[in-house]
Amino acid sequence: MAYFDPAEGWSREEIEQAQVARLRTTIAQAGKAPLYRKQFDELGITPDSIQSVDDVRKLPVTTKDDLRAQYPDKMNTVPRKDIVRMHASSGTTGSPTVIHYTQSDLDNWSDLVARCLHMVGVRPEHVFQNMTGYGLFTGGLGLHYGAERLGCLTMPSGPGNTKRQFKLMKDFNTYAAHIIPSYALYIGAALRDMGMSPDDLPLGIVITGAEPHTEEARQRIEELLGAKAYNSYGLSEMNGPGVAFECTEQYGMHIWEDAFLPEIVDPATLEPVADGEVGELIMTTLCRTGMPIIRYRTRDLTRFITEECPCGRLHRRIDRILGRADDMLIIKGVNIYPMQIERVLMEFNEVGENYVIELERENFIDQLRVKVEIKDEHFVEDMRVLQGLQRKIASRLCSEILITPRVEIVQHNSLPKSDGKAQRVVDKRE
């Protein structure tokens, strides 16, 4: 098997030995930040406190609020002159979380992303079209530098302007593209609406990320675009893209454990869950010098896939993200994740690529409304047909989420769209 980096082929023993050594180095470096220095002193933590991978649980967790409290640069562990870039979250509520990078941090990040792309078949001779946002968002530059590191001709086309995206694909023979799932579904539908077929595009590989999405959504993306779609996982606090990636088996994402130490815990107790059980993903950086982060609570819900991957890599896999611990909806006493609703909707061939979940309150009781676009060929004038479809969707949703939502079917292209992350849940209860 051709590896981009020899670390891809490490044994479990080699991975864990590297994790212990790098965690000790990370503790020494992180202790230069005031927050960690205070916490380590209170807990008596030194690099020698780490004798095995399990000793990571001796360390304190870090939350998004912790990072916000240290805004803008109190988490840095090197002089300002050694920081060459920063990225930040959107900061829609209060101060954003800001991540600072040294040049070596950026080099390591690019290597990890190049490793991911190489794993799914992207090669230097391929053209890579990056159809996602740039700026403070990590997804754009993260994939861009990774593709360049691999040696690809890399086009920073950004999101939107779908007709131009198709023209660039055709003119430059784009083989691999990075697209967020909701936009991938949108351009796939646009391709169909323009009377074109997937055979009209040279695409062979699509990288999706930034939004949790279901296996059903992935299958629809592959059908619409005529390309293999590979799921990826990243978050700005851990660099951005390149944290975990599917291999060609398309079952679970390998976390690069030579660069990150993952845990999956009960969100309420922070105790480890049994392998294979769903919990909150906690991550520790192992190779970052400018701003190492210890046991970061991602709030993302997933599980470790326990069986070995047929691809031969022994870096553990996580399942696709179910949702966020703080994204769970509680309606009429029932816990519901938006991904459950998407999974059902994508099972219906009549359903288009866009939907919105609305939360409403009537007479002090919370209600769930699902607005879903229907493909033009199925949006007929016979109301009996539409009402029948409406009832089928509502019944199937009830079987999945245990309450009956109000289903509203609407015409294709009638719901709001965004070039960035799709807003799937709208809370109208206030």
Average pLDDT, stretch 338-350?
89
Residue 92 has pLDDT above 60, yes or no: no
Average pLDDT of the segment spanning 87-112: 86
pLDDT at 382 (0 to 100):
83
Mean pLDDT on 347-373: 88
Sorting pLDDT into bands at 50, 70 and 90, what band is 90?
Answer: low
Q: Per-residue pLDDT for 326 more than 80? A: no
What is the predicted pLDDT for the residue at 242?
95
Does the pLDDT of residue 170 top 70, yes or no? yes
C-alpha neighbours within 13 Å on the C-beta side of residue 178: 33
Sign (positive/negative) of CA torsion 393, 399, 400, 406?
positive
pLDDT value, residue 228: 98
- Whether the per-residue pLDDT at 148 is higher than 70: the answer is yes
Nearest to 357 by CA among 387, 376, 336: 336
Q: What is the pLDDT of residue 339?
A: 83
Question: Cβ atoms within 10 A of the Cβ of 196, count?
Answer: 13
Q: Is residue 271 pLDDT above 90, yes or no?
A: yes
pLDDT given at position 420:
67
- Asked if 250 and 222 count as a contact pair (C-beta separation under 8 A), the reply is no
Q: Cα–Cα distances in Å, from 417 out to 160, 190, 352, 355? A: 10, 13, 13, 10
- Of 356, 353, 409, the closest CA to residue 188 belongs to 353
Q: How high is the pLDDT of residue 343?
A: 87
One-character DSSP codes across 343-388? HHHTT-TTEEEEEEEEEEEETTEEEEEEEEEE-GGG--S-HHHHHH
Determine the Cα–Cα distance for residues 149 and 109; give it in Å rounded to an integer.
Answer: 10
pLDDT band at 94 (very low <50, low <70, confident <90, very high): low
Q: Is the pLDDT of residue 362 over 90?
A: no
| Domains of the chain, each with CATH number or no CATH | 1-326 (3.40.50.12780), 329-427 (3.30.300.30)
Q: Which of 231, 240, 255 is nearest to 293 (CA)?
A: 240
How, if at all, do strands 127-130 and 176-178 pair? parallel
- The chain-wide mean pLDDT, for the chain, equals 92
Beta bridge partners of 361: 366
Q: Please name the residues in contact with 260: beta carbons below 8 A apart, sequence gap of 6 or more.
A: 238, 243, 283, 284, 285, 286
What is the C-alpha to C-alpha distance for residues 336 and 338, in angstroms, rounded to an integer? 7
The reported pTM is 0.84
pLDDT of residue 145: 97
Q: Give the number of other Cβ atoms within 10 Å of residue 327's Cβ.
A: 18
The whole-number average pLDDT for the span 267-288 is: 96
Question: Is it the case that residue 93 has pLDDT exceeding 60?
Answer: no
